[in-house]
A and B are shown apart, each in its own frame.
Chain A
Amino acid sequence: VVARKQATVLAVGLGVTITVASAGYSQALRLLVQSSMLEVPYMIQVPSPAELESFVQGVVDSGSYHNMTEVVGEASELLARREQLLHDVTAGVEQLDRGEYTEYGMDSQQAFLADIRTEEESRFPSKNCQ
């Protein structure tokens, strides 16, 4: 039933798109999940405005991807990277806020370069750091 319908609801488990169902079958899919007939850790409902679906279909039509699932998968990976970037930047900013930083100025450029080189040598001890 699910496979016959257009994409408006995505069931996503462990970061992998499980299936695509129409809006009319989202409730049935949710019931399947809730009744453990279909084991999905969590479910995300994605409203599918026409322009979004048109865009995704256009990407498929361009030949870069085989189908809409591949496009959504790529989009999910990009979003995951962006979320990771936000997490990493936040962690660095929190270090700054805690006063965990080294300060450099125009008068300490050599110290800056030396510190980066030292950090590089500690991170890559087997490499030839010049």
Chain B
Amino acid sequence: MRRLRLSPLAKSDLADIRQAVGNPATMFHSAELVDAAQNVIGQATY
């Protein structure tokens, strides 16, 4: 069975993404979200 290992940094990135999605008033810049997603994907595909 596949397992997910989540680093603290990746967890922070996911929290940022969740915050941005769940809160329309977030001050996140779209580029920052892309960076956060890429960080997570980058670690997952390392």
In Å, the complex CA distance between A101 and B16 comes to 18
CB distance from A109 to the nearest CB of B (A): 9
- Asked if B42 contacts A92 (CB within 8 A), the reply is yes
Given contacts A88-B9, A88-B39, contact A119 B4 (CB under 8 A): no
Total chain A interface residues with beta-carbon distance under 8 A:
30
- Asked if B42 contacts A105 (CB within 8 A), the reply is no
Given contacts A88-B9, A119-B12, A124-B19, contact A105 B39 (CB under 8 A): no
Total chain B interface residues with beta-carbon distance under 8 A:
27
CB-CB nearest in chain A for B4: A104
- Asked if A101 contacts B15 (CB within 8 A), the reply is no
Please name all residues of chain A whose beta carbon is closer than 8 Å to the beta carbon of B42 when the two chains form the complex.
Answer: 85-86, 88-89, 92-93
Supplied contacts A91-B9, A93-B43, 14 more A-B pairs, CB within 8 Å: A84-B35, A88-B9, A89-B38, A92-B43, A93-B7, A93-B42, A103-B5, A105-B1, A105-B3, A119-B11, A119-B14, A120-B19, A123-B12, A129-B22
